[in-house]
Amino acid sequence: MSHLCKVYSKSLDVKIGYPVLQPHYFPILQEKFVTFHNSDKVASKSYSYYEDTIKILKPELEKRDIKIFQIGEGNDKKIDGVDEFYNFTSFKQSSYLIDKSLGHFGADSGPLHIASALNKPSLSLYSHAPVSLCGPLWNKGKAITLESHRNGNKPSFSNHEDPKTIDLIKPEEIAESVFKMLNICKYTSQKTIFIGDKYKSKIVDIIPSSMPSNISVDDAEIRIRMDIHFDEEVLTQILKSIGRQVEIITNNHLNENLVESFKPKISKITYNAERFNADFLKYLKHSGLNFELNCTKEKNLSEERVKFFNYEIVLCDKKESAKKLKEKYKDLKHSFKFYSGRFYVRGDETFASLCKNTDDIQFWNDAKYFRVYESVTV
């Protein structure tokens, strides 16, 4: 597939020239840094695991006093771990930063092609469109490109992929390519074992066994886990103190007066049960609240659906899916580590899993929120 510039060149009967950039001074104190850009403008180009990539990069770059400067276009989201976030730099200011950098990495976007025109080392990611179509044009000798394998499929050319094929690129592939770009030969990296399908979620699950002293959640979704510990008194305290909407997950019917009192603070009620309480279902139906009904026992599903035929009831057998995951990764080494997209809060405790023993089914039930990896030295 021909590069877009070559197609335009042929169509317009003009030659491809070399761009002349006029960088504008931008005040920076750091001498050694790399620039980085994640494109939020095109969803298919926005990689979901840059925070994991930065976690691999930072220790090695800090040893060499190299910083990471994220540059953006106004609406881009800051990636946790970057040293500076320049979100409103002009084209000419971005050109200045890239020109002074040791190299640039990130999405196939404007800054990548600025780096190409300035003959700077670069690393760029491709997924919904192939490298051959829109890769760096001018500094091919200094450009590293990573293209998603797309599970063997052809490029979609869609700006809104679901799931995004760019996320098939592993965080360590990007980090190790950045090390290569910077001529760093010895480093500690990671080997991804698996990424759970809900790892990208940002969730805080509050277990209401006691009142948390401090609930710091930033932009995470908050869920109160009455299915783990059922205490309506603590639930009331949490709902009184919290300043935003929460989801309540329960395996028992809730006091209707309690729910009614805090209705504006409840975004959703998820009711998981082997058998459902008819009065509570009737209340939920007329409450105006968003709710979800999950039958946790397969042999009861048909009976519950007939009994409550005017409700949508789905099967939610967490143990079965957890068993499959456990069997798939039964040879998982004890040296593994993991990051989690979901955290539990119980009183003053914060933890990522209810169980860290891989022989326990509860670990594998939580694993859909994990990225599991091993540390490796190269």
Any idea of the CA torsion for 65, 122, 45, 222, to the nearest 10 degrees?
Answer: -10
**Last residue in a domain, options 186, 215, 232:** 186
Q: Is residue 94 packed enough to be buried (19+ CB in 10 Å), middle (13-18) or exposed (0-12)?
A: buried
Q: Give how far Cα 365 sits from Cα of 2, 118, 306, 331, Å.
A: 47, 49, 29, 17
162 with 227, same domain: the answer is: no
Comparing C-alpha atoms, which of 31, 36, 62, 67 is closest to residue 50? 36
Phi and psi at 102, nearest 5°, equal -85, -15
Query: Degrees (nearest 5) of the Cα angle 222, 228, 232?
Result: 75
CA distance 69 to 27: 13
C-alpha distances in angstroms, 295 versus 201, 287, 313, 318, 362? 23, 21, 7, 11, 19
Mean pLDDT of 109-133: 94
Question: Could you say which of 186, 220, 241 is where a domain stops?
Answer: 186
Same domain for 127 and 59? yes
Same domain, 109 and 222: no
User: Count of domains in the chain?
Assistant: 2
Position 238 in a domain: yes
Do 18 and 121 lie in one domain? The reply is: yes
The two beta strands, 342-346 and 221-225, are: unpaired
Shared domain for 56 and 163, answered yes or no, is yes
Same-domain check for residues 94 and 28: yes
pLDDT-based confidence at 4, cuts 50/70/90?
A: confident
Q: How far is CA 54 from CA 49, 58, 61, in A?
A: 9, 6, 10
Query: Percent of the chain beyond pLDDT 90?
Result: 73
Instruction: Give CA separation, 178 vs 34, 61, 70, 81, 287, in Å.
Output: 9, 10, 14, 16, 53
Give strand pairing partners of 294.
272, 314
136 and 218: one domain?
Answer: no
Same domain, 168 and 305: no
Ordered DSSP codes for 284-323: HHHH---EEEEES-HHHHHHHHHHTTTS-EEE--HHHHHH
Task: Tell me, yes or no, whether 254 and 354 share the same domain.
Answer: yes
Would you call 198 helix, strand, or coil by DSSP? coil
In a domain, 324, yes or no: yes
Q: ω into residue 208 within 30 of 0, thus cis?
A: no
Q: Are 221 and 358 within one domain? A: yes
Residue range of the domain that includes 234: 203-375
- Check whether residue 217 and residue 169 sit in a common domain: no
Q: Is residue 195 part of a domain?
A: no
CATH number of residue 174's parent domain = 3.40.50.2000
Task: Read off the pTM.
Answer: 0.89
Look at residue 196 and tell me if it is in a domain.
Answer: no
Q: Can you give the pLDDT at residue 368?
A: 92
> At residue 70, what are phi and psi to the nearest 5 degrees?
-90, 125
pLDDT band at 64 (very low <50, low <70, confident <90, very high): very high
User: Which among 122, 105, 52, 42 has a CA at the least distance from the CA of 76?
Assistant: 42
pLDDT at 324: 85
Residue ranges in the chain assigned as alpha helix (H): 4-12, 50-63, 91-100, 110-117, 131-134, 171-181, 232-241, 256-261, 278-287, 298-307, 318-328, 361-366
In this predicted structure, the answer to whether residue 74 has a pLDDT above a threshold of 90 is no
In this prediction, residue 3 carries a pLDDT of: 86
Q: Are 84 and 147 within one domain?
A: yes
What the block records as the tokens of 253 is 């019917």
Gyration radius of the chain over CA positions: 25
**Band of residue 321 on the pLDDT scale cut at 50, 70, 90:** confident
Rounded mean pLDDT, 328-350: 89
User: Which segments of 44-170 does DSSP mark as H helices, in order?
Assistant: 50-63, 91-100, 110-117, 131-134
Q: Most confidently modeled of 5-14, 151-160, 323-332? A: 151-160
Residue 192 belongs to a domain: no
Confidence (pLDDT) at 108: 93
Residue 197 covered by a domain? no
Answer yes or no: are the C-beta atoms of 242 and 231 closer than 8 Å.
no
- What proportion of the chain, given as a percentage, has pLDDT over 70? 99
The per-residue pLDDT for 216 is 66
